[in-house]
Amino acid sequence: MENSMVENSHSWRDDLGAGFLVFLIALPLCLGISMASGFPPVAGILTAIVGGIVTKFIGGARLTIKGPAAGLIVIALGAVTELSNGDPVAGYRRAIAVGVVAGVLQILLAVARTGVVGELMPSSVVHGMLAAIGVIIISKQTHTLMGVTPEGKEPLHLLAEIPQSITQLNPEVFLIGLVSLIVLFGLPLIRHKWARKIPGPMVVLALAVPLGYIFDLRDEHNYSLLGHVFHLGPKYLIRLPGSLLGALAFPDFSQILSGTSIKYIIMFTLVGSIESLLSVTAVDSLDPEKRSSNLNRDLLATGVGNTIASFIGGLPMISEIVRSKANIDNGAKSAWSNFFHGTFLLLSVALIPGLLQQIPLAALAAMLIYTGSRLASPKEFQHAYHIGPEQLLIFVTTMLVTLMTDLLVGVGAGLVLKVGLHLKNGAPLKYLFRSILEERTDGETLRLEVRDAAIFTNYLGLYKRLKSLGPEIKRVIIDFENAWVVDHTVLNKLEGMGNRMEGRELILEGLDNHAAASNHRLAARWRRREEAVKA
């Protein structure tokens, strides 16, 4: 009894400490994501407060942090812009109405137990989508970092306009942004342990806020440099309501049945759910105790959180991977760390709104550029190619089509291309969505023979069989010898599932006679025709 009480005490302290450190990281990111999304700055904090305090009591993933995410910026900004009809405030209120309906749909998806969809999405498509989002974030925030208002609206136009903005940059605003970028990119390069424990965003604020005071961003004024006159004023700082009640806004459902609203409801529901579920599975793999989360329960918590947050003016939320990893790295033990992170955010908005309004927008832009650069890092391209050239093709296609159109079309293009490549490599059309499994049990060993194809579109059957294993099964052998095509997504998901299996061994066999897309251990494979003829 005494040992249990001591463990609970340590867990409580660990969660409190982790929650505080995540709060320090989340505070500026919530503000920045809100601004980039076309929402009021405080909207992201409202979302994180609901995501921390409310969802804790619904259940789901233990160590994830719920709040606004950079991956949904493009959808949120698109919704506000297209629903505004020239009135940004009206666009915002119609966008949060979309968020309410999307939250309700996520609840229904959770009740229908569709959380497994997160297990089916090909990583190359998801990462291509995220890379496109990273490029879009960079294209927009680079101008903010330089203190310039661009003329373009679309990502490719904004990228093309960067050289012109460089010639027109506001030097003092840019200096704040440049210092912030140096900190964010430079801090991870320091090898000492103490550097890893310091939240980069807080170092940025510790430097950017004093610089804002030095340059007197609070007051409208002009200054001269090298024969040019530049203007400074409060428009380069965060603006917040005077009280928490003043931050609340309520949805306008007047256009909820319009084609534009329906499009964004679908995008928020699908992209938000998939990104959140993928984050949960990634965080589970980082959990020191190797605990598996209930994906349907977590989707329910996300849906309830989104419904409430959107109804009071917040951004869409997901289980966010970066803050969740920081949560684990700082010793979190349970979902209470998420609760504490939300509580600290609530206190900050309620007690120190004046201090928050001294944060320069250029510093927030730097944080978003840093986030975008990680989403669209050259390492992502290199990793995709390392797995196989076809993965890089899917990755790049998804990214480019997303940049030229929108997220739904980009993801759809990536999925269609992937299916086409599977058919080209021999996957039978009639088994595209149906898995053929033959099983044999020998004592504590279950042998599953996968026939015809093991690809992302028919992985659900294999996944459900593995999730339904009885306690008597201690060893599972999956034989792919008679499968024409074995997808990288399937191999990747199976490896993750095997790592999370407690007291069981998962073995993959029958791949020796398959050609591989690369030397990567999880590369896609297809059965050699000459070997099939011999058999």
pLDDT at site 534: 44
pLDDT at site 7: 39
State whether the Cα torsion 450-453-458-459 is positive or negative: positive
Write b or e for each residue in 107-130: b if 16 or more Cβ atoms lie within 10 A of its Cβ, otherwise e.
bebbeeebbbbbbbbbbbbbbbbb
Residues 421, 395 contacting (CB under 8 angstroms): no
Q: How many CB atoms lie within 10 A of CB 261?
A: 21
pLDDT at site 296: 87
pLDDT(244) > 90: no
pLDDT(535) > 60: no
Confidence of residue 361 (pLDDT cuts 50, 70, 90): very high
Confidence of residue 44 (pLDDT cuts 50, 70, 90): very high
Asked if 458 and 402 sit in the same domain, the reply is: no
Asked if 154 and 83 sit in the same domain, the reply is: yes
pLDDT at site 344: 93
Of the CA atoms within 13 Å of residue 439, those in its CB half-sphere come to 14
Of the CA atoms within 13 Å of residue 271, those in its CB half-sphere come to 31
Condensed to tens digits (0 to 9), the pLDDT of residues 187-230 reads 988 888 777 777 888 899 999 999 999 999 999 999 999 889 99
pLDDT at site 66: 93
pLDDT(6) > 50: no
Take residue 493 and report the two structure tokens written for it: 């998901």
Q: How far apart are CA 320 and CA 64, in angstroms?
A: 7
- Enter the pTM of the model: 0.84
Q: How far apart are CA 100 and CA 306, in angstroms?
A: 7
What distance lies between CA 214 and its chain's CA centroid?
36
Tell me the mean pLDDT in the region 48-60.
89
Asked if 370 and 403 sit in the same domain, the reply is: no
pLDDT(469) > 80: yes
Asked if 170 and 211 sit in the same domain, the reply is: yes
Name the percent of the chain lying above pLDDT 90.
53
Q: How far apart are CA 494 and CA 473, in angstroms?
A: 17
pLDDT at site 532: 45
What's 505's domain CATH number?
A: 3.30.750.24
| 338 closest CA partner among 121, 29, 65, 10 | 65
pLDDT at site 333: 85
- Bin 260: left if φ > 0, else alpha if -120 < ψ < 50, else beta: alpha
Asked if 414 and 521 sit in the same domain, the reply is: no
Q: Based on the number of CB atoms within 10 Å of its own CB, is 167 exposed (0-12), middle (13-18) or buried (19 or more)?
A: exposed
Confidence of residue 436 (pLDDT cuts 50, 70, 90): confident
pLDDT at site 426: 87
| 502 closest CA partner among 290, 298, 303 | 290
Pick the last residue of a domain from 358, 374, 390.
374
Pick the last residue of a domain from 359, 374, 389.
374
Dihedral through CA 53, CA 54, CA 55, CA 56, nearest 10? 50
400 vs 513, residue with greater confidence? 400
3-class SS of residue 472: coil
Condensed to tens digits (0 to 9), the pLDDT of residues 70-101 reads 878 889 999 999 999 989 999 999 999 999 99
Tell me the mean pLDDT in the region 519-523.
92
pLDDT at site 529: 55
Asked if 463 and 522 sit in the same domain, the reply is: yes
Asked if 48 and 118 sit in the same domain, the reply is: yes
Tell me the mean pLDDT in the region 381-410.
92
Condensed to tens digits (0 to 9), the pLDDT of residues 154-174 reads 888 999 999 999 999 999 999
What is the domain range of residue 439?
429-534
pLDDT(14) > 90: no
Pick the last residue of a domain from 389, 424, 459.
424
Q: How far apart are CA 509 and CA 486, in angstroms?
A: 12
Asked if 463 and 388 sit in the same domain, the reply is: no
| 521 closest CA partner among 396, 426, 386 | 386
Tell me the mean pLDDT in the region 15-41.
88
243 vs 439, residue with greater confidence? 439
Q: How many independent structural domains does the chain possess?
A: 3
Asked if 279 and 335 sit in the same domain, the reply is: yes
Condensed to tens digits (0 to 9), the pLDDT of residues 273-326 reads 888 887 887 777 667 776 777 888 999 999 999 999 999 999 999 988 778 878
pLDDT(528) > 80: no
Asked if 27 and 147 sit in the same domain, the reply is: yes
Asked if 338 and 258 sit in the same domain, the reply is: yes
Q: Based on the number of CB atoms within 10 Å of its own CB, is 501 exposed (0-12), middle (13-18) or buried (19 or more)?
A: middle
Of the candidate ranges 2-6, 107-111, 488-492, the one whose mean pLDDT is the lowest = 2-6
Asked if 407 and 480 sit in the same domain, the reply is: no
pLDDT at site 86: 87
pLDDT(9) > 50: no
3-class SS of residue 121: coil
